[in-house]
Amino acid sequence: MAAAASLLFAGLAHAQDPFEIHVYEYETLRLGDFTFETHLNYIGKGTKTFEGPVAPFQDQFHATFELTAGLTDQISVGFMQLNARRPGNSLEYAGWRVLPHFYAPRSWHLPVDLGLVTEFSFQKTTYEENSRRVEVRPIVEKSFGKLRVDFNPVFERALHGPGTSGGWNFEPAARVGYEVSERFSPSLEYYSELGSLPSFLPAAQQLHQILPGGDLKLAKNVEWSFGVGIGATPAGNRLVYKSRFEISFGFR
């Protein structure tokens, strides 16, 4: 019984990252190029009671600021600052992250575009039971005319906290987008958390979420991504509204 309760708690506490709901794409920067992103997410239907130190997700609002700088044509590094507001509370600091990016050059003529983002996270346990964790996010991208498919087979594990004994979690995500015009691309995203390798959680405790949305280019260097996430299992948040603004700029 204790083991089953532990698995259930893990499924609830780790269900989807509320600070950054994003399928990573093959997006290289050059030295002197930057992107600044603002992630604004609201959980319309989530957990309503504390799970250990982790606060209920219901009606939480999250504001995340991310700056990414190009170091070479294939290497960049990002820094993320996390903020959250719970019902009855003001917006508060929730943690920070650092994200090295690596991309395979297109000059290699691979059949798909490949990248890798490694994320080191340091968070308050009010929003994540493990105060430190690492995430390895491969990027596989393929375009078919105006249709683009991205796949992130994500592996995540805790570095400090009760989840350290759980090993690596498998959390695949994917996105399919179609370029209707130069300004707008509707999309369908999928997020999941299947549990620790080599065995997975029972189906009812896994996270599976479908997120229809789109990308709208507001200006040459400004893009707005939006969507509504619908959870298919009770393990994750059942209704999530996400929004991301990305501004690209450079000093070269």
**Extents of the domains making up the chain:** 2-246
| Percent of the chain surpassing pLDDT 70 | 94
Label each residue of the chain as H, E or C.
CHHHHHHHHHHHHCCCCCCCCCCCCCCCCCCCEEEEEEEEEEEEECCCCCECCECCCCCCEEEEEEEEEECCCCEEEEEEEEEEECCCCCCEEEEEEEEEEEECCHHHCCCCEEEEEEEEEEECCCCCCCCEEEEEEEEEEEEECCEEEEEEEEEEEEEECHHHHHCCEEEEEEEEEECCCCCEEEEEEEEEECEECCCCCCHHHCEEEEEEEEEEEEECCEEEEEEEEEECCCCCCCEEEEEEEEEEEECC
Q: Would you state the pLDDT for residue 10?
A: 42
More confident residue, 94 or 251: 94
Tokens of 27: 């997006």
Position 15 confidence tier, pLDDT thresholds 50, 70, 90:
low
Position 65 confidence tier, pLDDT thresholds 50, 70, 90:
very high
Q: Would you state the pLDDT for residue 16?
A: 74
**Per-residue pLDDT tens for 152-174?**
999 999 999 999 999 999 999 99
Q: Is the pLDDT of residue 9 over 50?
A: no
What average pLDDT does range 58-71 have in this prediction?
98
Q: Would you state the pLDDT for residue 95?
A: 98
What average pLDDT does range 227-237 have in this prediction?
92
Q: What is the dihedral of CA 42, 7, 49, 210, to 10 degrees?
A: 20
Tokens of 170: 């498998």
- Tell me the C-alpha to C-alpha distance, in Å, between residue 242 and each of 21, 111, 128, 208, 226: 7, 32, 19, 16, 6
Closest CA to 210 of 180, 195, 238, 231: 231
Q: Which sign, positive or negative, has the C-alpha torsion 31, 32, 33, 37?
A: positive
Architecture of domain 2-246: Beta Barrel (2.40)
Q: Would you state the pLDDT for residue 235?
A: 84
Q: Is the pLDDT of residue 252 over 90?
A: no
144: exposed, middle or buried (C-beta count within 10 Å: 0-12, 13-18, 19+)? exposed
Position 236 confidence tier, pLDDT thresholds 50, 70, 90:
confident
pTM reported for the whole predicted model: 0.92
Mean pLDDT of the chain: 93
Angle at 140 between CA 66 and CA 142, to 5 degrees: 110
Position 250 confidence tier, pLDDT thresholds 50, 70, 90:
very high
What average pLDDT does range 45-59 have in this prediction?
94
Q: Would you state the pLDDT for residue 3?
A: 43
In a 13 Å sphere around the CA of 221, the CA atoms on its Cβ side amount to: 8
What average pLDDT does range 66-80 have in this prediction?
98
Q: Would you state the pLDDT for residue 163?
A: 93
Q: Would you state the pLDDT for residue 7?
A: 41
Q: Is the pLDDT of residue 5 over 80?
A: no
Residue 8 sits at φ, ψ, to 5 deg, of -65, -45
Q: Is the pLDDT of residue 1 over 50?
A: no
Residue 166 sits at φ, ψ, to 5 deg, of -80, -10
